[in-house]
């Protein structure tokens, strides 16, 4: 078990932020935590890394309580840039972590190079742009070569080429067997990174697997949508009457051919067909704005 979060409650004053929230990451994965402003994403990440105490609940990282400082040998946490010191250089920040973790100068340079911040390593943070600060925070997060990276908005404020570079690095880390839990508001970036999404809604998590076959939706126009809906429901595919003569069919491993065959077998005429790949933005609207896709 890489991360196990069980029955976490957290309130600030009368406001209940997290309500009996549980989830687990059992194998290396990239997971995105998505939710509206103020929904509690940072609070949850702070609780996982024990920077904030939950009111109740149990959290384990690699089977160790998150209260044990040893977890930071295998885990890193990228917070927002308010943790940086303006009057220190990027290198100072990295050296501080390097000293705690017993890392060499060379390891620091290699990490900075990997992220692409070697050009301004010795500048003061007060002279950094938002994107440069993100680069430094990410370099700090990869420095100890952790198995679990917890990243709060890692793609915030990056120009397109930086975003591509960071996305590729996240992919590389994932391919090396690391687990990445990241929060993001940028849903098109989330779609490019992962199909495992945790929506944080009103203190609860809704887990979505948006892998390609779960995201493929066919809008089919038929002569008898009610009958089509009825027949397809028996075929274990997600189906929804969209009004007029249209039905939306979510493919869950079933092939399009089977679906069409089943309609034909039941003497239902297919008049039109439109393929749509839905993304986390569509699901976000469904989850948070109760809109149909
Ligand atoms: N230290 C604190 N004291 C009181 N309330 C807090 C504190 N920290 C966070 N909150 C409140 O908890 C709620 C969740 O905040 P949090 O920062 O976790 O949300 P978020 O989902 O990360 O938001 P955003 O997407 O805007 O970064 C907000 O209503 C916030 O005002």
Among 169, 125, 179, smallest CA distance to 147 is for 179
- Specify the pLDDT at position 215: 66
Question: Which residue, by CA, sits nearest to atom 6 of ligand 1?
Answer: 12
Q: How far is the CA of 76 from the centre of ligand 1 (A)?
A: 21
State whether 101 and 9 are in the same domain: yes
State whether 220 and 165 are in the same domain: no
pLDDT at 213 over 60: no
Number of domains composing the chain:
2
Domain that holds residue 242: 216-277
- Specify the pLDDT at position 229: 86
Question: Which residue, by CA, sits nearest to atom 16 of ligand 1?
Answer: 40
pTM confidence score: 0.82
Tens of pLDDT, residues 30-51: 999 999 899 999 999 999 999 9
187 lines ligand 1 (CB under 6 A): no
| Cβ atoms within 10 Å of 93's Cβ, excluding its own | 21
Residue where one domain finishes, among candidates 212, 233, 252? 212
pLDDT at 88 over 80: yes
Phi, then psi, of 205 in degrees rounded to 5: -105, 140
Q: How far is the CA of 289 from the centre of ligand 1 (A)?
A: 21
Domain membership of residue 283 (yes or no) is: no
Q: How far is the CA of 39 from the centre of ligand 1 (A)?
A: 7
CATH code, domain carrying 272: 3.30.70
| Cβ atoms within 10 Å of 70's Cβ, excluding its own | 11
Domain membership of residue 291 (yes or no) is: no
Domain membership of residue 255 (yes or no) is: yes
Among 28, 22, 30, 78, smallest CA distance to 54 is for 22
- State the Cα–Cα distance between residues 11 and 94, nearest whole angstrom: 34
Q: How far is the CA of 40 from the centre of ligand 1 (A)?
A: 5
Tens of pLDDT, residues 215-224: 678 889 999 9
- Specify the pLDDT at position 39: 92
- Specify the pLDDT at position 222: 95
- State the Cα–Cα distance between residues 10 and 204, nearest whole angstrom: 11
State whether 153 and 182 are in the same domain: yes
- State the Cα–Cα distance between residues 263 and 259, nearest whole angstrom: 6
State whether 196 and 119 are in the same domain: yes
Tens of pLDDT, residues 90-109: 999 999 999 998 999 999 99
41 lines ligand 1 (CB under 6 A): yes
> If pLDDT is split at 50, 70 and 90, which confidence band does 211 have?
low
Sign of the torsion angle spanned by Cα atoms 228, 233, 238, 240: positive
- State the Cα–Cα distance between residues 108 and 114, nearest whole angstrom: 10
If phi > 0 it is left, if psi is from -120 to 50 it is alpha, else beta; for residue 244 that is left
Provide the 8-state DSSP code for 242.
-
State whether 16 and 62 are in the same domain: yes
Q: How far is the CA of 99 from the centre of ligand 1 (A)?
A: 32
The mean pLDDT value of the chain amounts to 90
Spatial contact of 151 and 183, defined as CB atoms under 8 Å apart: yes
Per-residue pLDDT, averaged over 11-15, amounts to 95
Domain membership of residue 129 (yes or no) is: yes
State whether 101 and 229 are in the same domain: no
Percent of the chain with pLDDT over 70: 95
17 lines ligand 1 (CB under 6 A): yes
Domain membership of residue 13 (yes or no) is: yes
State whether 269 and 220 are in the same domain: yes
């Amino acid at each position: 078990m890489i991360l196990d979060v069980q029955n976490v409650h957290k309130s600030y004053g009368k406001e209940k932020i997290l309500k009996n929230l549980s989830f687990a990451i059992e194998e290396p994965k990239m997971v995105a935590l998505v939710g509206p402003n103020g929904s509690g994403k940072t609070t949850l990440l702070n609780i996982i890394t024990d920077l904030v105490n939950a009111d109740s609940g149990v959290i384990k990282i690699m089977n160790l309580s998150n209260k044990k400082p040893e977890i930071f040998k295998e885990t890193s946490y990228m917070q927002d840039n308010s943790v940086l010191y303006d009057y220190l250089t990027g290198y100072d920040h990295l050296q501080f972590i390097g000293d705690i973790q017993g890392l060499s100068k060379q390891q620091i340079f290699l990490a900075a190079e990997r992220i692409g911040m070697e050009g301004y390593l010795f500048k003061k943070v007060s002279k950094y742009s938002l994107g440069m600060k993100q680069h430094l925070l990410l370099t700090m997060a990869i420095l100890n070569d952790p198995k679990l990276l917890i990243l709060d908005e890692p793609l915030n404020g990056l120009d397109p080429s930086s975003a591509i570079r960071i996305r590729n690095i996240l992919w590389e880390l994932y391919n090396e067997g690391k687990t990445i839990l990241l929060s993001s508001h940028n849903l098109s970036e989330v779609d490019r990174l992962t199909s495992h999404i945790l929506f944080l809604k009103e203190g609860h998590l809704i887990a979505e697997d948006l892998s390609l076959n779960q995201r493929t939706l066919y809008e089919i126009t038929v002569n008898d949508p009610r009958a089509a809906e009825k027949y397809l429901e028996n075929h274990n595919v997600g189906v929804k009457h969209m009004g007029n003569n249209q039905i939306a069919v979510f493919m869950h491993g079933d092939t399009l051919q089977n679906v069409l065959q089943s309609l034909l077998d039941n003497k239902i005429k297919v008049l039109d067909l439109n393929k749509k790949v839905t993304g986390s933005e569509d699901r976000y609207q469904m989850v948070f704005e109760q809109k149909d896709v």
